Chain A
């Protein structure tokens, strides 16, 4: 197992190298000029050229890439073109809100979606099943920002139960932190709940057809034990896979959710950086997310071994 983990971590290195080259190249060829954005509308072409030179943006591709890559290897993600702050500092400022949003969303999604999927499979072809699956379709169909607006309108503006926007760090108290995350997490979780519920239902349906489930019923095991003790554990592999893949959905969805609810997270940082062409931030955030995603996939693979003893690496 440890050998497997070590080998997977080693393979991360060329993957990250490829991601670094890809994202750097993409930004290099993309249209736009951060120097022009910095200089402002009234600037002369000479001003823009001076700013570009001052930022080193007029140097050849290979020189810029090599310099950036070697700095990254030393743990230095560079400096933001616009703020002049280290990229790592800017990421560190924004990581807590995004992480909080993703954790709370995951928590809500898993603890809502899995029971939904289990019940839908148990009551297959009944009205309960249809309600759950309709909800799943809705979750996939309605855009995240529409859900966000509706929830904010109902629970914040009309009922005044929850705040419309913002984020409060957990050091200021657990409830204030959680209160600000409820609406964004439910918003972001909608599509995730839909996805997990559907996969759970499909996976459970397959498992519930198995002989050992029929045997357990014949032996008089309670329905609850059959569903949650025997069937769910055997249905867990595809569910865990989807949860892992769905983290990418969360990252993408966080961008919209953070904008709708004005959460100062990494999603907004990335969008702002893209619009401004703040290359070091874009590169730094993409590298970071890629690394996180690789780690999550590794974690999912390790979890397989816990869920299914037959799986060994």
Chain B
């Protein structure tokens, strides 16, 4: 071989080596079909679903940890890890039995003692868990697969508590991990769910990787939300966090990612025009927009003024500010509960249909409004709250209230809304937020509907009729009784204006056409999702 040929060959070899090798042969390109790249709604900064109750943590946790029960698409709790349950005639003793053959990702069997400790940790942070523990006599493992929960007073909603998909869900962890203080983070991420968390590849804020757990034993039933058989059709799921929606849209169009959880409305038309992309509603349970008034200080310590605001507001203005012109994405909501669900009610909701500015102005004057400024906290870094805030400020001015527009960020709102100081001294009169429809199906985990004064959510409403109706719902033994309680609750909550619902709105999800099995739901369900 002459020198020129040698140099050319060596140079070519070096170039090939630096490019990471030759192109993958066709066989190994099939491996790519087993990797699903997903853009989640937010940054997965921590991964303890009991300690951190953000939706994104719950969504990821559902891959790694299984639950005893899970709600299906009809909102009916179904057995998941549980094989059977029994409740004594007096309703005080619940006995549960685990399915056989369940294993954790470290190969250890799932035992009743793991369940007991996991439930203890969960119950320390979950509103329904706290209620159960308040009535608890004992929670113990009977044998390796059986445990019992003995109460002092019947709790008919036990299965719902264990099945609900509101954070924190009752995820089952190994006993040693579940012994972590519920107000401190776990450091190991071992579960018995269909995917294992790859901690070595986790870059908090940028990437999270889940790998198929081959020893997972799915149920035989068809999958339906958090119930049924969780069959994984991909080997690896990569969560790619993309803070910029335009980048996520471009990456989806380019095929660099496969599924985007929540594209913003502005970009949906662009995605729809792409023949390789499907766009559809993500969660039929949607969201409920809200603003909360501070019941402790003027002017909103006066229920007449609160009701005047409800009377004047036009939910269409709020919803169009959030979703734009797409009528499929919103509907008015004369109440507090998720539409098209079994317990939905509009009882007492006429006040939200009045949309009468003049009448509201008159009511405010008659209520004796003295011109106190309304300190309105509006987070500018959250599109929903910014949009709603702009509408509210305009509304308040039209009905004659003085507005102090505080443009800030969500972190500051989170800190300031907890202050019970007067509005002029670091407190507040109003802030905007929204609630996932899955959290607003009933009062079970609906912290925002409570009106127990100091213990209530920010705004600290006090209303005995609301609290009585909630107790009535918890004690209700059948659906008609629950519906009666819900009607009373909705009416009382509007009468005392626990908060102001601004409407019901939906969002989209988008995925490439070679991805199959994507369903609608309150969280992204990865089981039965495949790639062609």
Do chains A and B stick together as partners?
Answer: yes
Task: Please give the residue numbers on chain A whose beta carbons come within 8 Å of chain B beta carbons, in ascending order.
Answer: 31-33, 36-45, 47-48, 50-51, 54, 80, 82-85, 90, 93-94, 145, 149, 152-153, 156-157, 160, 163-166, 172-176, 259-262, 264, 268-269, 271-272, 275-278
- Apart from A164-B251, A165-B251, A175-B18, what are 17 other A-B pairs with CB-CB below 8 Å? A31-B411, A31-B412, A41-B53, A44-B455, A48-B418, A80-B204, A84-B187, A85-B204, A149-B246, A152-B250, A156-B254, A173-B18, A173-B21, A175-B19, A259-B244, A259-B247, A275-B409
Question: Are the CB atoms of B415 and A42 closer together than 8 Å?
Answer: no
Which residue from B54, B203, B244, B416 sits with its C-beta under 8 Å from A260? B244
Question: Are the CB atoms of A174 and B18 closer together than 8 Å?
Answer: yes
CA distance A261 to B205 in the complex (A): 14
Return the CB mask of B242-254 against A: 1 if under 8 Å, else 0: 1110111011011
Min CB–CB distance A247 → chain B (angstroms):
23
Identify which of residues 149-188 in chain B touch chain A, using a CB-to-CB cut-off of 8 Å: 166-167, 181, 183-185, 187
Is there a chain A Cβ closer than 8 Å to B43's Cβ?
Answer: yes
Which residue from B53, B256, B415 sits with its C-beta under 8 Å from A164? B256
CA distance A175 to B415 in the complex (A): 46
Chain B residues lying within 8 Å of A165, measured Cβ to Cβ, are 242, 247, 250-251, 256
Is there a chain A Cβ closer than 8 Å to B414's Cβ?
Answer: yes
**In the complex, residue of chain A having the shortest beta-carbon distance to the beta carbon of B433:** A41
Identify which of residues 421-464 in chain B touch chain A, using a CB-to-CB cut-off of 8 Å: 433, 435, 439, 445, 447-448, 455, 457
Supposing A84-B46, A275-B381 touch, asked if A261 and B185 sit within 8 A by C-beta, the answer is no
Is there a chain A Cβ closer than 8 Å to B125's Cβ?
Answer: yes
Question: Are the CB atoms of A54 and B46 closer together than 8 Å?
Answer: no
Chain A residues lying within 8 Å of B205, measured Cβ to Cβ, are 264, 268-269, 272
Min CB–CB distance B442 → chain A (angstroms):
15
CA distance A260 to B51 in the complex (A): 31
Question: Are the CB atoms of A42 and B445 closer together than 8 Å?
Answer: yes
Is there a chain A Cβ closer than 8 Å to B206's Cβ?
Answer: yes
Question: Are the CB atoms of A32 and B250 closer together than 8 Å?
Answer: no
CA distance A90 to B207 in the complex (A): 13
Chain A residues lying within 8 Å of B53, measured Cβ to Cβ, are 39-43
CA distance A93 to B448 in the complex (A): 39
Supposing A164-B250, A173-B18 touch, asked if A31 and B46 sit within 8 A by C-beta, the answer is no
Question: Are the CB atoms of B247 and A152 closer together than 8 Å?
Answer: yes
Return the CB mask of B42-55 against A: 1 if under 8 Å, else 0: 01011000011110
Supposing A33-B418, A276-B411 touch, asked if A268 and B247 sit within 8 A by C-beta, the answer is no
Chain B residues lying within 8 Å of A36, measured Cβ to Cβ, are 414-415, 418
Is there a chain A Cβ closer than 8 Å to B20's Cβ?
Answer: yes
CA distance A36 to B125 in the complex (A): 14
Question: Are the CB atoms of A47 and B125 closer together than 8 Å?
Answer: yes
Question: Are the CB atoms of A45 and B418 closer together than 8 Å?
Answer: yes
Which residue from B167, B184, B203, B414 sits with its C-beta under 8 Å from A264? B203
Question: Are the CB atoms of B250 and A40 closer together than 8 Å?
Answer: no
Min CB–CB distance A259 → chain B (angstroms):
5
Is there a chain A Cβ closer than 8 Å to B240's Cβ?
Answer: yes
Some 12 contacts from A to B, beta carbons below 8 A apart, are: A31-B408, A31-B411, A36-B418, A42-B53, A82-B204, A165-B250, A175-B18, A259-B243, A260-B247, A262-B243, A268-B205, A276-B45
Which residue from A51, A152, A175 sits with its C-beta under 8 Å from B183? A51
Which residue from A80, A264, A272 sits with its C-beta under 8 Å from B207? A264
Min CB–CB distance B39 → chain A (angstroms):
9
Chain B residues lying within 8 Å of A275, measured Cβ to Cβ, are 381, 409-411
Question: Are the CB atoms of B206 and A157 closer together than 8 Å?
Answer: no
Is there a chain A Cβ closer than 8 Å to B349's Cβ?
Answer: no
Chain A residues lying within 8 Å of B46, measured Cβ to Cβ, are 38, 82-84
Question: Are the CB atoms of A164 and B183 closer together than 8 Å?
Answer: no
Chain A residues lying within 8 Å of B256, measured Cβ to Cβ, are 163-166
Chain B residues lying within 8 Å of A85, measured Cβ to Cβ, are 204
Is there a chain A Cβ closer than 8 Å to B218's Cβ?
Answer: no
**In the complex, residue of chain B having the shortest beta-carbon distance to the beta carbon of A174:** B18
CA distance A50 to B51 in the complex (A): 11
Supposing A42-B445, A174-B19 touch, asked if A272 and B43 sit within 8 A by C-beta, the answer is yes
CA distance A260 to B245 in the complex (A): 9
CA distance A164 to B252 in the complex (A): 10
Supposing A82-B46, A83-B46 touch, asked if A262 and B415 sit within 8 A by C-beta, the answer is no
**In the complex, residue of chain A having the shortest beta-carbon distance to the beta carbon of B254:** A164
Identify which of residues 185-243 in chain B touch chain A, using a CB-to-CB cut-off of 8 Å: 185, 187, 203-207, 240-243
Which residue from A41, A42, A261, A269 sits with its C-beta under 8 Å from B127? A42
CA distance A36 to B415 in the complex (A): 6
CA distance A33 to B411 in the complex (A): 7
CA distance A156 to B183 in the complex (A): 45
Chain A residues lying within 8 Å of B251, measured Cβ to Cβ, are 164-166, 262
CA distance A269 to B243 in the complex (A): 11
CA distance A149 to B433 in the complex (A): 30
Chain B residues lying within 8 Å of A83, measured Cβ to Cβ, are 45-46, 204
Question: Are the CB atoms of A54 and B181 closer together than 8 Å?
Answer: yes
Question: Are the CB atoms of B250 and A31 closer together than 8 Å?
Answer: no
Chain A residues lying within 8 Å of B455, measured Cβ to Cβ, are 44
Which residue from A157, A172, A173, A269 sits with its C-beta under 8 Å from B254? A157
Question: Are the CB atoms of B181 and A264 closer together than 8 Å?
Answer: no
Supposing A38-B52, A262-B242 touch, asked if A157 and B250 sit within 8 A by C-beta, the answer is yes
Question: Are the CB atoms of A33 and B415 closer together than 8 Å?
Answer: yes
CA distance A48 to B410 in the complex (A): 16
Question: Are the CB atoms of B411 and A277 closer together than 8 Å?
Answer: yes
Min CB–CB distance B206 → chain A (angstroms):
3
Identify which of residues 338-359 in chain B touch chain A, using a CB-to-CB cut-off of 8 Å: none
Min CB–CB distance B162 → chain A (angstroms):
18
Chain A residues lying within 8 Å of B21, measured Cβ to Cβ, are 173
Chain B residues lying within 8 Å of A93, measured Cβ to Cβ, are 203
**In the complex, residue of chain A having the shortest beta-carbon distance to the beta carbon of B454:** A45
Chain A residues lying within 8 Å of B52, measured Cβ to Cβ, are 38, 40, 82
CA distance A39 to B124 in the complex (A): 13
Question: Are the CB atoms of B416 and A31 closer together than 8 Å?
Answer: yes
CA distance A164 to B39 in the complex (A): 14
Question: Are the CB atoms of B411 and A176 closer together than 8 Å?
Answer: no
Closest 7 CB pairs of A and B: A173-B20, A264-B206, A40-B53, A33-B415, A175-B19, A32-B411, A174-B18
**In the complex, residue of chain A having the shortest beta-carbon distance to the beta carbon of B44:** A83
Supposing A50-B183, A54-B184, A166-B256 touch, asked if A262 and B414 sit within 8 A by C-beta, the answer is no
Min CB–CB distance A179 → chain B (angstroms):
9
**In the complex, residue of chain A having the shortest beta-carbon distance to the beta carbon of B52:** A38
**In the complex, residue of chain B having the shortest beta-carbon distance to the beta carbon of A40:** B53
Min CB–CB distance A3 → chain B (angstroms):
42
Min CB–CB distance B529 → chain A (angstroms):
22
Question: Are the CB atoms of A172 and B204 closer together than 8 Å?
Answer: no
**In the complex, residue of chain B having the shortest beta-carbon distance to the beta carbon of A175:** B19
Min CB–CB distance B165 → chain A (angstroms):
13
Min CB–CB distance B457 → chain A (angstroms):
8
Question: Are the CB atoms of B254 and A163 closer together than 8 Å?
Answer: yes
CA distance A42 to B184 in the complex (A): 17
Chain B residues lying within 8 Å of A272, measured Cβ to Cβ, are 43, 45, 205, 243
Question: Are the CB atoms of A42 and B253 closer together than 8 Å?
Answer: no
Question: Are the CB atoms of A37 and B242 closer together than 8 Å?
Answer: no
Chain A residues lying within 8 Å of B240, measured Cβ to Cβ, are 166, 262
